[in-house]
A and B are shown apart, each in its own frame.
Chain A
């Protein structure tokens, strides 16, 4: 499938404060890409440039081969932010209809289905909604347009766990329909569950774009070994060792072959392995960035 959205050397400088620095990123049709980074890293700024809401200082944002913000791009994009601002006097249904009208297409049957799935009382005015319900209005509008590109910035902010599950089902369906999704989120479990690739941004710079498996390989595998295993510091691939009451915890990057060969010569009573979670991967990148 072709590239649905692309950031080419995308840069945003807010009068001396470099929010995004020469960021390159692409999302293919039918792909869900997670976008992770600490607060203030430049995630929202990147998404807003991809929407044409912010003008890049340099570089280019392209949606389906057209400049971000062009009418072609806008008619094929839907957006949900984590802090949705809507017209308080409209009802939820009116808001969804209005946004659908602006977009030019709205799958009415799917909209009704989404309203039911998200358990949204769509005839209430926006001012009477809780934050979570306002978020549901924005999500229903975005999914019901069947837009080819979905740009989601903390979209589940305020949703309860049951609704998060509904959201995940919608993303899976969108992916199966060939829609491209860029999902910025602080909920790492959500990203881990939904995204094939993850982009990590720190201080405006993209530090990594890779499959979750590749990222795991970067952090490595954790071994918890009990028994008398001797000194493992010189073993190839071992990056860290910490003591346990009756053994050691060892972090290995790359192939564990050398470690296993060494352990074969020792007296091992138990051996447990655990792959790093995306949260640990994220923290490892963040630690790298903050360490002197």
Chain B
């Protein structure tokens, strides 16, 4: 095999499993979307939905559209933005994995010193990442086509999703050039994607902000409007700018040392030992970068969501017909500010679940990367190490959730809506009722498979969320819906908490946690 072809194969091997998972997820969500369009009465059924889609708060969440004339248009509106967000994040993570990740573990050195050379190796890796983006785009096209959508529209939408994937790749590549280790590069890339998504939310939340769409790939995707208004000129930034950014990253690599990054913190530091005296304190020290990023991210998200409340409330006050329609379409809870906050808190529960998983899996990462060897050899017990990680996660999750509730309330107040702080606090407290279940299951997975624990937890959360959101629309059987913890989250503060389900889920969490502790204390470390 020729050397460049070998690099090609190697990079594909690194990303093939996540690519298959992402592609499957996109296909599943698109198919569910197409089916739910039919179940909702097709084009005729969508006419009644018109006032809903014109509401600024709904537009902010799903994007601005004027009509839903086909299943493709419905899917693009209802699911498109969230699929795009997931694709961009996946693409960024793949990019940091094959570039910065390979530099971190030293495997990049082997490619650089081989006859392949440094720049061609990066070019090959970039090529594979672009191919992976094409795979997801092609899956989008074929799913829509097989769902009876017009081929030209499906092709263009598939191409637009490829552009989103390439945007994620470009941000991941750029992050890898500027930041090390991979965790930092990934965090910066993911935060950038989150920021670009929020810019799109702000653009669609108010008619005066539409120009903000020009600043973000999610806005370009919306401006293309493959199933709506189709403006092909927006393919230029969507496809050309990521390619340009990737080329810039390729050039940036040339003028830095292998293994180094453009931006590095000082290599020397005054010792700060106050958080190093016990495993309990060290658990905070180990996670404080991640905690800062999540606090900032959820705070901004809370502010934006809170700020959108007023737009929805005003519309409901002036149009009783609209309120009836919202109720008919299952958005009935959103007719008041408190109802909108209750819906938002269910969405926050998803973000907080991912945060809990991210905070906990560092226990597994330390284990399979060999960093547990020394602490466990120097006197600390496995139980104490695990407990310190869990306690830190619990305390941080409660604190950050309450901060997010506070940020949401500030957003609500700034938008001009009168609401007490208690409403978002209760909503977020309700979102936390899933935490015991999630922590217990995470501990069990970390004990069973430390290397793949985050992947498995993330997949479980995604599947359960889709089950809870799409299941009722698709009229899935009750037992299937009952399987999702998200399905049991009531809309607090407009409804009481589901204490029965909370108790059952907590019991499952406790059993899984105890089992996980038992496995963790008995398993071979580093295997």
Report A's interface with B, CB cutoff 8 A: 14, 48, 51-55, 71, 74-75, 77-79, 81, 83-91, 93-94, 97-104, 121, 123-125, 127-128, 138, 141, 145, 151
Contacts and interface: CB of A to CB of B under 8 A. Distances in A.
7 contacts: A71-B379, A77-B378, A85-B374, A93-B271, A98-B273, A123-B269, A124-B268
Smallest CB-CB A-B distances: 8 pairs = A85-B370, A128-B267, A79-B377, A98-B276, A102-B378, A53-B525, A103-B378, A54-B524
A154 to B, nearest CB: 13
Nearest to B270: A123
A278 B527 CA distance: 33
Contact of A124 (B267, B523, B526): B267
A143 to B, nearest CB: 13
Contacts of B376: 51-53, 74
B388 to A, nearest CB: 11
Interface string B371-399: 10111111111000000000000000000
Contacts of B279: 102
B378 A85 contact: no
Tell me if A's interface is mostly helix, strand, loop or mixed.
mixed
B107 interface: no
Contact of A86 (B272, B371, B522, B524): B371
Contact of A79 (B272, B369, B378, B523): B378
B374 A79 contact: yes
A125 B377 contact: no
A86 B380 contact: no
Contacts of A103: 378-379
B390 to A, nearest CB: 18
Contact of A77 (B267, B371, B377, B381): B377
Contact of A53 (B270, B276, B380, B524): B524
Contact of A91 (B268, B282, B374): B268
A86 B522 CA distance: 23
Interface of B: 180-181, 265, 267-273, 276-279, 282, 286, 289, 369-371, 373-381, 522-527
A88 B377 contact: no
B526 A94 contact: no
B374 A86 contact: yes
B178 to A, nearest CB: 16
Contacts of B377: 51-53, 74, 77-79, 151
A256 to B, nearest CB: 47
Given A75-B379, A123-B269, A123-B270, A97 B276 contact: yes
A121 B523 CA distance: 36
Given A94-B276, A98-B276, A125 B269 contact: yes
A94 B523 CA distance: 29
Nearest to A93: B271
B526 A102 contact: no
A84 to B, nearest CB: 8
A91 B267 CA distance: 8
Contacts of A71: 379, 381
Given A101-B276, A101-B277, A102-B279, A78 B269 contact: no
A98 to B, nearest CB: 4
Contacts of B265: 125
A91 B271 CA distance: 7
Contacts of B379: 71, 74-75, 102-104
Contacts of B370: 81, 83, 85
Contacts of A104: 379
Contacts of B378: 74, 77-79, 99-100, 102-103, 141, 145
Contact of B369 (A53, A55, A85): A85
A84 B369 CA distance: 10
Contact of B282 (A53, A98, A125): A98
Q: Which of A48, A53, A87, A128 neighbours the largest number of chain B CB atoms within 10 Å of its CB? A: A53
Q: Which of B272, B279, B374 neighbours the largest number of chain A CB atoms within 10 Å of its CB? A: B374
A81 B369 CA distance: 13
Contacts of B527: 14, 54
Contacts of A93: 271
Given A97-B273, A127-B181, A53 B373 contact: yes
B271 to A, nearest CB: 5
Q: Which of B273, B378, B381 neighbours the largest number of chain A CB atoms within 10 Å of its CB? A: B378
A74 B380 contact: yes
A79 B379 CA distance: 11
Contacts of B270: 123
A261 to B, nearest CB: 56
A157 to B, nearest CB: 14
Contacts of B381: 71, 74
Nearest to A69: B376
Nearest to B381: A71
B269 A91 contact: yes
Contacts of B269: 91, 123, 125
B276 A85 contact: no
Contact of B271 (A77, A94, A138): A94
B521 to A, nearest CB: 9
Contacts of A123: 268-271
B286 A55 contact: no
A52 to B, nearest CB: 7
A219 to B, nearest CB: 35
